[in-house]
Chain A
Amino acid sequence: MIALLLRDLRLATRAGGGFGLSLTFFLILVTLVPFGVGPEGGRLATIAPGILWVGALLASLLSLDRLFALDHEDGTLEQLATAPLPLEAVVAMKAIAHWLTTGLPLALIAPLLGVLLHLPGAAMPWLALSLALGTPALSMIGAFGAGLTVGLKRGGLLLSLLVLPLYVPTLIFGAEVARRGAEGAATGTPMAFLGAITLGTLALLPYATAAAIRVNLR
């Protein structure tokens, strides 16, 4: 399992792996928002938690269609499916690798981009924490969508149609943590829900994803 994780990490970080692409996308999105809504600091500060969360969600969506597609094309996925390691574990490892290369860097860079949007300093740790806690769920849900569409020629657009509605609960609780953090309110409740969603998806969705991949490999 560790070997598979390291392999995926290496593939993602080397040239052509797309690492950094989602970070760049995140940066560009945050740059574009003030052009759309105007540069006043007060207005930007109120929408910053939401913008950063939606941006993180879209950025993690970007690299999803590569999650299984490349391995499907060159036959690696078949090899993995017949390997002694259960396919569920393979799926979970791939989702974790995806999180380590997109979600975690996004969580780390988000406070920096928050400065660009006049996010109050008190909200910074909450934003980073909520992203770090919530993005694993985004990666796992995304892996489910990628597993459903892995056999399709033009799965990319369909993938976003399938995955984005599934992101709703994560987004609600994640953005709520950041918003309450910015207002100095208690963040315990949405934080607990966010953690529950992440743990629940990590525990259950690998089975659904592996089932979908088995159908697509038939």
Chain B
Amino acid sequence: MSIWEYANPKKFMQTSGALLPWAVGLSVLTLTAGLIWGFFFTPDDYKQGSTVKIIYIHVPSALMAINAWGMMLVTSLIWLIRRHHVSVLAAKAAAPVGMVMTLIALFTGAIWGQPMWGSWWEWDPRLTSFLILFLFYLGYLALWSAIENPDAAADLTSVLCIVGSVFAFLSRYAVLFWNQGLHQGASLSLDREEHVADVFAWPLWTSIAGFVLLFVTLVLIGTRTEIRARRMQALLAREKLA
């Protein structure tokens, strides 16, 4: 039993099909629980009032926006090294989800920033990095849709993902050099003392779990759709030959 067995599309479809209802159910459960808990059963912040509650969407979506790109990097590398089609299709399925997560993080941040900072947008390093990340997602998706040959598209987007990761990383630290930040540091951490209060932290962890499960669910659905689309193409090609 090894993870590479799931490179077989049939095996992947069986397992993901069995997992999918659980993933859907659990993500709906944790998301609803986390958001309702966060929105209605936590106190207002003494300074930020009720605007603090946007954290339950903002932080998880920002987290997933970055991790989705990280997942695409890993699956792209697996495709380039081991030529497993499922892997690159998972990267393709993750890209739109990651892009929407980036957008959600940007928009919720703007909605929070308007009353708190007095401005919808600041050229702060974190905000700027996220805008650049959004552009990388756009370029990646545009390259997928521009190339007709599926294998060539998979190869080229994977190369772009790897080069883009290096440059995204570089940009992240270059913008720190370019402008000082307004954005606060991390709200949650596993090792540091300084931390958001527990009354906010628990619903936040719940909704982070919800967003992770939501991401997994959407990527599974997307990958399954891509595999079915490939099968359709293969069937049509075979019929043409016959």
Contacts and interface: CB of A to CB of B under 8 A. Distances in A.
B163 A205 contact: yes
A197 interface: yes
A132 interface: no
A169 B169 CA distance: 10
A interface SS class: helix
Interface residues of A, number: 27
Interface residues of B, number: 24
A14 interface: no
Given A148-B159, A215-B152, A169 B146 contact: no
A100 B155 CA distance: 31
Interface string B193-231: 000000000000000000000000000000000000000
Interface in A146-204: 148-149, 151-152, 155, 158, 161-162, 164-166, 168-169, 172-173, 176, 190, 193, 197
Contact of B136 (A148, A155, A165, A211): A165
Interface in A59-117: none
Given A152-B147, A166-B164, A161 B156 contact: no
Interface in B101-137: 132, 135-136
B177 interface: yes
A208 B135 CA distance: 20
Contacts of A151: 147, 152
B182 interface: no
Given A152-B146, A173-B174, A161 B160 contact: no
Contact of A158 (B143, B159, B177): B143
Given A165-B132, A176-B177, A215 B156 contact: yes
